[in-house]
Amino acid sequence: MLKNNFIAKKDTLIYIQSFKQSPYVDLELTIEGENEIVYSNREGIQEKPKKINLAKGMFSFTIRGENGDGSNFNTLIGYYTDEIVFLNDEEGDQD
């Protein structure tokens, strides 16, 4: 599991795009706010950028995966640098 925490300083937009190398890799991407999940993708693939409206507040971006030894995946997040601040990176075992 990979997890990044970030703050939206004001209401803003972000864009997310993701790819995986192998169809056998199971990925789940989520963006969770204080009270709700604002984005969830259990397929792990978002080939066209997805626009997500975020309200001012704190969020967690989490990537969970299985069956991916030696496989690559790529996740792109587009945001305005003056509106989003990432706080930390955490790596841990799958829940």
Q: What percent of the chain has pLDDT over 90?
A: 45
Are 33 and 52 in contact, with CB atoms under 8 Å apart?
no
What is the reported pLDDT for 68? 62
**Complete edge-to-edge strand list for the sheet that includes strand 73-78:** 46-54, 12-20, 73-78
Model pLDDT for residues 3-32, shown as the tens digit of each residue: 999 999 999 999 999 888 777 778 889 999
Vertex 78 angle, CA 86 and 50, to 5°: 120
Nearest CA to 60 among 30, 40, 82?
30
The pTM score is 0.80
Using 50, 70 and 90 to split pLDDT, how confident is the model at 64? confident
Vertex 52 angle, CA 35 and 4, to 5°: 60
Domains of the chain, CATH where assigned: 2-88 (2.60.120.380)
pLDDT of residue 94 exceeding 50, the answer is: no
Query: What is the pLDDT of the chain when averaged over all its residues?
Result: 85
